[in-house]
Amino acid sequence: MKYKEKKYQPVLVKEEVLLDYRVHQEKLNKNLKGTKKDYGIFFTPEWIIDFMVDLVDTGSIIDKEIYVLEPACGLAQFLIGIKKNKPALSKKAKFFGVEINQDVINYLKSLHIPDDIRIIRDDYLLWQSDLLFNLIIGNPPYGIPSSSEHYTIKVSPPTKAKYKRQYETWYGKYNIYGAFVEKSIRLLKPGGQLIFIIPATFMILDEFKKLRKFLSQNGGTAIIYMGPDVFKPEADVSSVVINFLKSAKFAKRLELLEYANGKVKTVKIATDWQGEVVKFETKYTKNIEDMCSYSLGEIYEIRISPRTSEIKNNPCVLVNISVNGKEYLPILNGRNLASNMIIYEPLTGYWIKKTEINKLRNFFSIPHIVVGLGFRKNGNVAAAKEEKCYPWMGDVYHLLRRNNLFGFSFDMSDSDVVEYLNSDYVKKYVKDMYREITYHLSITQLKNLPLPNKKEWGKIKEKWSL
């Protein structure tokens, strides 16, 4: 199959001069100010480009016709990086970049990059390629696609519906980078290599369970955890470099590695990965799991507070009015919650009539445990007993004790559980297991948190004096 020039109206960029990335990134960033976020435009630091280009396995590419693709190419930095650092491969390869944003392409056109790099203007997720590629490399956009102002990647409802139809890994509030990974794997030749820098969230969040399975079924996956600093201060996101080999022989192979101080070290290797959550187990986390007979989700039903958008649209909710304190209660959020303490003050500005709280969530009227989520900021899982039964909103979980078989044999009181959740033991468990992958615990992580009975809790404190 041959590349069809007319269909994609490629922009051919002339003259053989390499870019000085930093200058151009800054200039383009200034030019794009208003729309930068809508397209998820964050340029990759040059050292990361070099790091990723180093991972290209030139030895395994034996085809006569070699095709290299950078999706969401921006300034085509990866393609240029390959031309610079992999001259033998570059001599034989044909280079393609796909970019949706005309301003970015115009800027790129004004630069002097090698004219054998073809830039195609299209939405990568809807682009129909006639070629398969030996190597796909880059930094796709990140964000939840939506036309709503709450989300970063601006996509119209019909386009989003097309994405949903096309991508089998699409699930829940899917992040656009997941679809970029799926599309790229589909566009690889057998034996082809995909190298992307993406957020680390796909390792653990439920929205990516289909993507993890897709990866495990289609080849070998190496995940190099880079931590939260790569894109700072522009973006605060924990990232990984994923190095994927499309090959039936390597299906289910997973390597978890970690980058620190210029070195990469192996954390673990599995050959039977079926898309399970990818965690950093340590001796400590394994021991805590062995010592606990329960998980939090077995003893408690876990519910989340209504989101701000729901509160804003609820006709029973009033905003910043002078209310009769006897009839109304302030709606609380994460800022009202500290370790073992609830600050019953009107911090959100939202109020609701006492008699209407049940309309928001009926469990608000039952005494239960509330858990705040901001663990990455302070490393804490802040929990407290909610006995006054106030209404809540935002990122706060509610733990409602189940009446089940596990519950009967479980002898910790709610106060004991609150003490355990606020302890350094849980803090260390969460940090060891999930590093800084997300800002806060997901509901699944919370459900899976090991929970000891009284005797086990005593033994944990004896064994690990934190």
Ligand X SMILES: C[S@@+](CC[C@H](N)C(=O)[O-])C[C@H]1O[C@@H](n2cnc3c(N)ncnc32)[C@H](O)[C@@H]1O
* Annotation says 448 is catalytic: no
Q: Write down the least CB distance from residue 455 to ligand X, Å.
A: 51
The smaller minimum CB distance to ligand X, of residues 178 and 330, is found at: 178
**Sole binder of ligand X in the list 8, 13, 44, 452 (CB under 6 A):** 44
Stretch that binds ligand X, among 54-62, 138-146, 218-226, 251-259 (CB under 6 A): 138-146
C-alpha span between 264 and 240 (Å, rounded): 12
Beta strands in 149-203 (DSSP E): 153-154, 188-199
Q: How many residues bind ligand X (CB under 6 A)?
A: 21
Q: Write down the least CB distance from residue 162 to ligand X, Å.
A: 11
Pairing of strands 188-199, 145-146: unpaired
Determine if 99 is a binding residue for ligand X (CB under 6 A). yes
* Annotation says 231 is catalytic: yes
Pairing of strands 133-138, 117-121: unpaired
Q: Write down the least CB distance from residue 292 to ligand X, Å.
A: 41
Determine if 98 is a binding residue for ligand X (CB under 6 A). yes
Type of residue numbered 424: D
Residue 247 CB contacts under 8 Å (≥ 6 apart), including other chains: 190, 191, 219, 220
* Annotation says 142 is catalytic: yes
Determine if 152 is a binding residue for ligand X (CB under 6 A). no
Q: Which of residues 363-422 bind ligand X (CB under 6 A)?
A: none
Determine if 138 is a binding residue for ligand X (CB under 6 A). yes
- Residue carrying the six token digits 């001599």: 91
The catalytic residue among 139, 175, 336, 448 is 139
Residue 410 CB contacts under 8 Å (≥ 6 apart), including other chains: 294, 299, 451, 453
- Residue carrying the six token digits 């992307």: 196
The smaller minimum CB distance to ligand X, of residues 22 and 286, is found at: 22
**Sole binder of ligand X in the list 13, 19, 41, 185 (CB under 6 A):** 41
**Sole binder of ligand X in the list 53, 89, 104, 437 (CB under 6 A):** 104
C-alpha span between 111 and 28 (Å, rounded): 12
Determine if 182 is a binding residue for ligand X (CB under 6 A). no
Determine if 46 is a binding residue for ligand X (CB under 6 A). no
**51 burial via Cβ count (<10 Å: 0-12, 13-18, 19+):** buried
Q: Write down the least CB distance from residue 43 to ligand X, Å.
A: 4
What Å distances lie between residue 97 and 67, 80, 125, 138, 435, CA to CA?
11, 11, 13, 10, 34
ω into 228 cis (within 30 of 0): no
* Annotation says 362 is catalytic: no
**Sole binder of ligand X in the list 10, 114, 141, 450 (CB under 6 A):** 141
**Sole binder of ligand X in the list 39, 96, 214, 351 (CB under 6 A):** 39
The catalytic residue among 140, 141, 306, 450 is 140
Beta strands in 52-187 (DSSP E): 66-71, 93-99, 117-121, 133-138, 145-146, 153-154
Q: Which of residues 59-78 bind ligand X (CB under 6 A)?
A: 72-74, 77
C-alpha span between 220 and 233 (Å, rounded): 32
Residues carrying an active site annotation: 139-140, 142, 231
Binding residues for ligand X, rule: CB under 6 A, are: 39-44, 72-74, 77, 98-101, 104, 123-125, 138-139, 141
